[in-house]
Amino acid sequence: MPRISVALPCYNGEQYLLEALQDLRNQTYRDFEVIIYDNASTDATFRIASEFAAQDPRFRVVRRPVNIPIYQHFRQTLNESDSEYFMWRADDDLAAPNYIETLVACLDAAPKATLAAGHIAVWQLNKHKLSVRKTPPRFGTRLTKTILAINKAHASTIYGLYRRKNLLPYYDAVIDKWPQNLGADYAYLFAMLLHDEVVFSGDTYFVQRTGGDPKKAGKIYVPSAEQWTIFRSFLNHCWQSIDQSPFNGFEKAILKLNAVRHAFRRTYRARKMLWTKLNGR
């Protein structure tokens, strides 16, 4: 059995899928499998994935008979894996050639860690713009380092490498809590950071590509009451995670204050929620 399972959930990803698969094939680390989970695509996704898998035995394709919600799609890929290390990869994202090799070394060197991640480069294809979110600074007291990591971490940090058995309880604790799954990635990452179970490497990077497919760019309307429900659920989860963390009482109070700001940033901004409510939406 390969040491690492890379799950690639996709739906109608024909535009960039081949590049994403080639990127994985070119990784310097070799002991991994890639399972492409086609969520009943209606374009050429399944054909592209199947033709690629036929050329490399490390790649295989699983096709869902019917389309399922994205959070269920991601969750099933995790449940169906039994490897030591696990990684998600989107059908349009890339990484440095040493990405997997570097993150494996990070987890091997930190037996208690759950997640290893690198810098995040965001490539906005429609604007021809590249921005880089560097790994959070690791200086100061444990409280300072934790707050910096919480505030600076990028959503694509979740596309790092996990110690699978450690990930499961964090993931299961949040994945069903919020409508549309908004903020779930930041929620389980928040809990891992509190317990100092995320290791960062400045020697590699992940590339998130956005804005390449106009069909996937539409915004979902969420009523005001539901926005507040999502915000409160996210904040309560953060506060509960803080209560269960190893910090002292004063440090937990500071963390809870910071969590309010974090919840507004990672779910809905206070101004947006107020505007939606005032407009009766």
Residue 259 and residue 276 in contact, taking contact as beta carbons nearer than 8 Å: no
Q: What is the pLDDT of residue 54?
A: 98
Q: How is the chain split into domains, by residue range?
A: 1-90, 224-278
pLDDT tens-digit map of 100-156:
999 999 999 999 999 999 999 999 888 888 899 999 887 889 999 999 999 998 999
Q: Which of 70 and 7 is assigned the larger pLDDT?
A: 7
Q: What is the pLDDT of residue 14?
A: 96
The answer, as to whether pTM is greater than 0.85, is yes
As a whole number, the mean pLDDT across the chain is: 90
Q: What is the pLDDT of residue 128?
A: 83
Q: What is the pLDDT of residue 270?
A: 61
pLDDT tens-digit map of 209-241:
988 765 655 555 667 777 888 888 889 999 999
Q: What's the CATH class of domain 1-90?
A: alpha beta
Under the banding of pLDDT at 50, 70 and 90, the label for residue 254 is: very high
Q: What is the pLDDT of residue 183?
A: 82
Under the banding of pLDDT at 50, 70 and 90, the label for residue 63 is: very high
Report the C-alpha gap between 133 and 198 in whole angstroms: 16
Q: What is the pLDDT of residue 71?
A: 82
Widest CA span in the chain: 57
pLDDT at 192 over 80: yes
